[in-house]
Structure 1
Amino acid sequence: MERFDRRLHVRVSASDIERAQTLAGTLDITTSALVRLLLQLPAKDVAARRHVVLDLACANRLYRELNQWGYQQNQAAHALNRIAYYLRREAMDASDVLEELASVERQLERLRERADEIAVPVRKVAESRLLFL
């Protein structure tokens, strides 16, 4: 018999414990053996149940991309506020306003393009059960 000298501590709900004990009892194994068995499931089997596994590198890439979206939105809002500031002080004429609005539109279009690239994959992740490594 293999000796297991490491421990894995997890926080679960009462219903999770009940399901684990029921499944372990059905399989005639301990809950520890059940967890070890589940940890060996192939990734394709987990993916078929619409689970998403995120490692630290993937989570960081998602964070950086979302941070970039926020930066672009902030830049667009800053440009619009700048336009409003100068319009209130009558320091801009129509051509200046149109030029600044075109700049804001370009920034927002770049944001839309980048958002469209990953919107569907991010939506799929958001709708899935997440497993973090």
Structure 2
Amino acid sequence: MERFDRRLHVRVGETDVERAQALAGALDITTSALVRLLLQLPAEDIAAQRHVVLDLTCANRLYRELNQWGYQQNQAAHALNRIAYYLRREAMDASDVLDELSSVGRQLERLRERTGELVAPVRKVAESHLLFL
């Protein structure tokens, strides 16, 4: 663990102390670690307010969720490729094609339902400066 032998003294009001302690508590870090984290922010980007703090647990959850989205999209693409394969060999009739397309449509609709409300927040995270704890 890194040893911090320098001190930074800052005068703040009670409201700022409470906010710092609440934020540090929510992130499960000390207020000193919070200040060190905030000091990493690039000065020119602070006004943009597009910074996201991720701990390893949150980053792993986000990775697993995005991986699952990719898996579902891959399954839909595989089903469409299977349909195309059998159509080229004239091994499927119209009713089989419609059944398979309906199945793929349901898979994609379930994916859209699950990801719909998460797309915008995930996009914001992807476009933000990430700070890892």
TM range (shorter): 0.5 to 0.7
Aligned to 2:72: 72
Indicate which of 35, 39, 48 corresponds to 1:41: 35
Cα deviation 1:13-52 (Å, max 9, x = unaligned): xxxxxxxxxxxxxxxxx9x445xx97443999x8984321
Helix, strand or coil for the counterpart of 2:125?
helix
Aligned to 1:103: 103
Q: Which has the higher mean CA deviation after the structures are superposed, 64-73 or 121-130?
A: 121-130
Q: Which runs of 5+ in 2 are unaligned?
A: 9-30
Aligned to 1:58: 58
Identity %: 74
Shift of 1:85: 1.1
Shift of 1:113: 1.6
2:116 is the counterpart of 1:116: yes
Shift of 1:58: 0.6
TM-score by length of 1: 0.65
Q: Which runs of 5+ in 1 are unaligned?
A: 9-29
Shift of 1:57: 1.0
Aligned to 2:131: 131
Q: Which has the larger radius of gyration?
A: 1
Distance in 1, Cα, partners of 2:70 & 2:53: 25
Count of residues in Structure 1 that have an aligned counterpart in Structure 2: 104
Distance in 1, Cα, partners of 2:127 & 2:72: 25
